[in-house]
Structure 1
Amino acid sequence: MIDDVSPSLSRPQRRLLRRIYNGRTTPIMADGKPFLTYKAAKQYLLGLTPEERDAAYLEMKEQGQ
């Protein structure tokens, strides 16, 4: 699946995002926006600069655990 091959997100980042968004019924907020699916979160993260991406990823990670 080509969707999983992203040079911007590392493999551990993709795995963690998949784990926290798997079967989620309540959205995770990052930068004031709700994300309910892995695909939506990944698409948002890839649209950010590397610094913004790291900050948003950490915010998602904290809320997902």
Structure 2
Amino acid sequence: MTEDDADESALSRPQRRLLRRIYNGRTEPVVIDGRPFLTFREASRYLLTLPDDARDAAYLEMKRQAG
């Protein structure tokens, strides 16, 4: 298991799968807290820096913007 895999495991499997779908081939960034995200890796790293409540809120906002 790589370091990235261990870090990403803090997100649930369904969350990781949805984020990968959201960011696959994205050309317009999803903006959360004034920060643009174009890739799954950028988004997941950001989410992992947040406390649980803020992480859930940011994840839901990413999901909303992608829809």
Taking structure 2 as the reference length, the TM-score comes to 0.88
Which one of the candidate residues 22, 25, 30 is aligned to 2:24? Answer: 22
SS at match of 2:36: strand
Report the equivalent of 2:49: 47
C-alpha displacement at 1:32, in angstroms?
1.3
Post-superposition shift, 1:38? Answer: 0.3
For the pair 1:8 / 2:7, whether they are aligned, the reply is no
TM (norm. structure 1) is 0.91
Unaligned runs of 5+ in 1: none
Percent identity over paired residues: 65
Two-structure CA RMSD over aligned residues (Å): 1.3
Deviation (angstroms), 1:4: 3.4
Secondary structure class of the residue paired with 1:4: helix
SS at match of 2:61: helix
Aligned partner letter, 1:12? P
Aligned length: 65
